Structure 1
Amino acid sequence: MKKLLIVAIAFIFASCNQTKVAYIDIEVLMKDYEATKALETSLKAKQEVMAKELDSIGAPFQLKVQQYYQNQQKMSTQKRAQTEQALQQEQQFLQSKQQEASLLLQKENQKMSEIITKRVDSFVENFAKSKGYNLVLGTSGQGTVLYGDESLNVTTEILEILNSDFSKK
């Protein structure tokens, strides 16, 4: 009987040590995080610069194409074939430049997104430890956390601290 009582008391004490849980809305966090906004602004600016460069190369090509269509009736078959081949090569060159630019932006986006994600993950880990959370879940819209009491949602608190930290850099 004493053993049963000791086991029951031990069980009660063990159940008093509850796991402290919180969750973060990842979509809100990443949408409103200043580092993410800065990345988007930077990528948009680079995309505009690349687009202007491609346009500066593409405009003369378009002019050549228009001239070809205007003059093709006057050209010999051989001259027409040579011009078409030259235009095709130039078009392929332009397409490869567009693909290079797109790939470059994609790689930079991926690299910077990984840096931001690692920064956020590291911050959340430190935040959780400092606040005594045993578990921090991530949700995105209608994903991982199907229901969570708003008192467990630490998204705003983390976002404020992350943005404050980012603005210092």
Structure 2
Amino acid sequence: MKKLGIIAIAFILASCNQTKVAYIDIEELMKDYEATKALEITLKEKQEVMAKELDSISAPFQLKVQQYYQNQRKMSAQKRAQTEQALQQEQQFLQSKQQQAAQQLQKENQEMSEVITKRVDSFVADFAKVKGYNLIFGTSGKGTVLYGDETLNVTKDILEILNVDFSKK
């Protein structure tokens, strides 16, 4: 009986010290965060510039290929083989340039996304401390948090703070 009383008292004391919990919908946050939108615009602009540069060097190559197909019947076997080899080398060079451009964009996207993620994490930590939250979950859609009362969803609060901060820059 004495043990049961101690357990009941421990339970009551534990329930008095309630943990304040909230969650953030990460997909919604990142979709509506102005820094993420700016990143997408920046990367799209860089992709368009790179595409134009690649087009400017691939257009002459395409012309050479067309000229080769128009003149191949008139060429000797040796000349045809030399031209094909030269075109093949140029094609490999162009593919290498395309791959480098794609890797560069991917690297920039990753680096800039990491900066954004660290900034969001920092703001969430500060928000939790100011608002007295002991724990804030991050969820993607409803994947991690299967149910969460909307009163625990602080996504809009965090998003508003982040966007105000971003607009100051």
Cross-structure match for 1:62: 62
Return the TM-score normalized by structure 1. Answer: 0.95
Partner secondary structure for residue 50 of structure 1: helix
Cross-structure match for 2:104: 104
Gaps of 5+ in 2: none
Say if 1:84 and 1:4 are closer, same or farther in 2 by CA, change over 3 A.
closer
Cross-structure match for 1:13: 13
Cα distance between partner residues in 1 of 2:24 and 2:80: 64
Cα distance between partner residues in 2 of 1:90 and 1:3: 84
Say if 1:33 and 1:63 are closer, same or farther in 2 by CA, change over 3 A.
same
Asked if residue 44 in structure 1 is aligned to residue 37 in structure 2, the reply is: no
More displaced 10-residue stretch of structure 1: 82-91 or 10-19: 10-19
Say if 1:2 and 1:67 are closer, same or farther in 2 by CA, change over 3 A.
closer
Partner secondary structure for residue 136 of structure 1: strand
Cα distance between partner residues in 2 of 1:13 and 1:142: 32
Return the TM-score normalized by structure 2. Answer: 0.95
In the alignment of these two chains, the number of paired residues is 169
Residues 66-99 of structure 1, C-alpha deviation per residue, up to 9 Å, x if partnerless?
0000000000000000000000000000000000
Partner secondary structure for residue 84 of structure 2: helix
Say if 1:82 and 1:6 are closer, same or farther in 2 by CA, change over 3 A.
closer
Cross-structure match for 2:137: 137
Structure 1 residue runs of 4+, over 6 Å off?
1-4
Asked if residue 26 in structure 1 is aligned to residue 34 in structure 2, the reply is: no
**Offset of residue 17 of structure 1:** 1.2
Cα distance between partner residues in 1 of 2:110 and 2:30: 14
Q: What RMSD in Å do the two structures reach over aligned CA positions?
A: 1.6
Gaps of 5+ in 1: none
Letter of the 2:119 partner, please give it: R
Partner secondary structure for residue 118 of structure 1: helix
Cα distance between partner residues in 1 of 2:166 and 2:38: 10
Cross-structure match for 2:78: 78
